[in-house]
Amino acid sequence: MSEQRAVPAALAEFFADHPRLALAFSGGTDSAYLLYAATACGCDVRAYYARSAFQPEFERQDALRLAEQLGASMREVPLDVLAVEDVRANPENRCYYCKQAIFTALTRAARADGYSDIMDGTNASDDAGDRPGMKALAEIGVLSPLRLCGITKAGVRTLSRQAGLFTADKPAYACLATRIPAGTPIDADTLKRVEGAEGALFGLGYADFRVRVFHGAARLQLPPDQLERAALERRAVRAALEPYFDVVLLDLKERGGAIEN
């Protein structure tokens, strides 16, 4: 598949109008495709990865892998997001304060490198009404070319397959902070335990799930086709998660589609 076919005309026009850009890069499907498209269009693009307690190590490794495959420059920006009181307190609009902190840090790093504009992977399927973090992006002046060009999540996946990106079918992955109920303060130890528990489940072959914290216990949310398997393999699941949580609960509510956050 040619690079021209893997980049829609509207997006190619966007990069022609913005030939030098920084990219807030997570290693997920959307920002991965944007890095590819910007590179394919000859844009002077540099990826910036916010390294914080909210991002699991596998996301960082995916980001590094893709940047290397595309021959793109990537800079890691360390960020102590838990030092932000409004983030640590975990209110209902925590995402607003988190995005403020992350994109302020990324924008500062990008401008120090000579990049005046920064973009992110928000796509046309993302509902601004359900995502308080998008308010912060608008305030900071972050560009969202996928959304501007009307490219949906499904479109990003199709284009990513055409481009041969390994992230094309990567499940949606919300940050680790989403595993902790709003109103419950976030601490680094809990985030590490959630990351470890999810890594253990990945190791058992499960996918597209969440390990949520529920009164100190691990509450497993799994796609419908994996619920029965988890029940049958409850001893193996319990043993895998035992180093991280004393109590493991299986959420039996069936959910249609992917677990988004």
| CA–CA distance, 189 with 196 (Å, rounded to integer) | 11
Q: Please, is 58 exposed, middle or buried when counting C-beta atoms within 10 Å of its C-beta (0-12, 13-18, 19+)?
A: middle
The per-residue pLDDT for range 142-159, each reduced to its tens digit, is 999 999 999 999 999 999
The per-residue pLDDT for range 161-185, each reduced to its tens digit, is 999 999 999 988 889 999 999 999 9
The per-residue pLDDT for range 25-84, each reduced to its tens digit, is 999 999 999 999 999 999 999 999 999 999 999 999 999 999 999 999 999 999 999 999
Domain ranges within the chain, ordered by starting residue: 3-163, 187-250
pTM of the model: 0.90
Mean pLDDT of the chain: 92
257: left (phi over 0), alpha (psi -120 to 50) or beta: left
Query: Does position 138 have pLDDT exceeding 60, yes or no?
Result: yes
| CA–CA distance, 150 with 16 (Å, rounded to integer) | 17
The more confident residue out of 52 and 136 is 52
What number is the average pLDDT over the span 87-97? 95
CATH tag, 3-163: 3.40.50.620
